[in-house]
Amino acid sequence: MADDIKRFYDGLAADYHLIFEDWNASISRQSAALAAILERECGTPHAVRVLDCACGIGTQALGLASRGFRITGSDLSPSSIERARAEAERRALKIPFYVADMLDLTVIPDGDFDAVVCMDNALPHFESPEPLGEALTQTRKKLRSGAVFIASIRDYDRLVQERPSVQGPTFYTEEGKRRMVHQVWDWIDDWHYTSTFT
């Protein structure tokens, strides 16, 4: 299972930003929303240490680091981590990134984070309570006492009921060029599907 997910996100890493109308605007918008929660719960950005434990190509990590938070990023996908490192370097942001499965975060040397964020639907990749529980145990081990865990998931209840076969298409224009983004979903059973981005 983990190998399939790793291959899927490795294959998307170079072009993942294209699913957003404007990736930089999304980085800014998402980090503003997360920063408001983190500041309320944890304090001023420069004093707050955050682990983004499913950082992908860096959408939240880059935005939070640019707002002064002390960010560490990790992801299962080596290609996504490579892309996140390149994006951080391009923006002159110092973010340590690690290739790490959420089921084993011991490769990350730091602990006592003030917050762990797990955004953009990483948790539903765990298909049963046991690995999900282990992932949450691993993240808990990285948090100081009284710290915050912030996660987001897609509304799968509606999707399971409707079982859509396609999402989109959405048309974007950037630098005078148009592109179309859509997903094709092939349902395997009531709870599983394969997804193809074009």
Same domain, 169 and 99: no
> Please, which residues have CB within 8 angstroms of residue 110's CB and are 6 or more apart in sequence?
49, 51, 72, 142
CATH number at residue 27: 3.40.50.150
How confident is the model at residue 128, as a pLDDT?
Answer: 81
How confident is the model at residue 14, as a pLDDT?
Answer: 76
The pTM for the full model equals: 0.83
How confident is the model at residue 154, as a pLDDT?
Answer: 75
CA distance 100 to 74: 6
Using the 3D structure, point to which of 151, 167, 184 is the last residue of a domain.
Answer: 151
Same domain, 98 and 67: yes
Residues (pLDDT < 70) of the chain are 1, 20, 156, 164-175, 177-188, 190-198
Same domain, 144 and 161: no
Nearest to 93 by CA among 122, 117, 60, 44: 60
Q: Total domain count for the chain?
A: 2
Same domain, 77 and 58: yes
How confident is the model at residue 121, as a pLDDT?
Answer: 76
How confident is the model at residue 110, as a pLDDT?
Answer: 82
Same domain, 108 and 141: yes
Range of the structural domain that residue 16 is part of: 2-151
Contact 73, 97 (CB under 8 A): yes
Same domain, 164 and 75: no
How confident is the model at residue 78, as a pLDDT?
Answer: 96
CA distance 82 to 92: 15
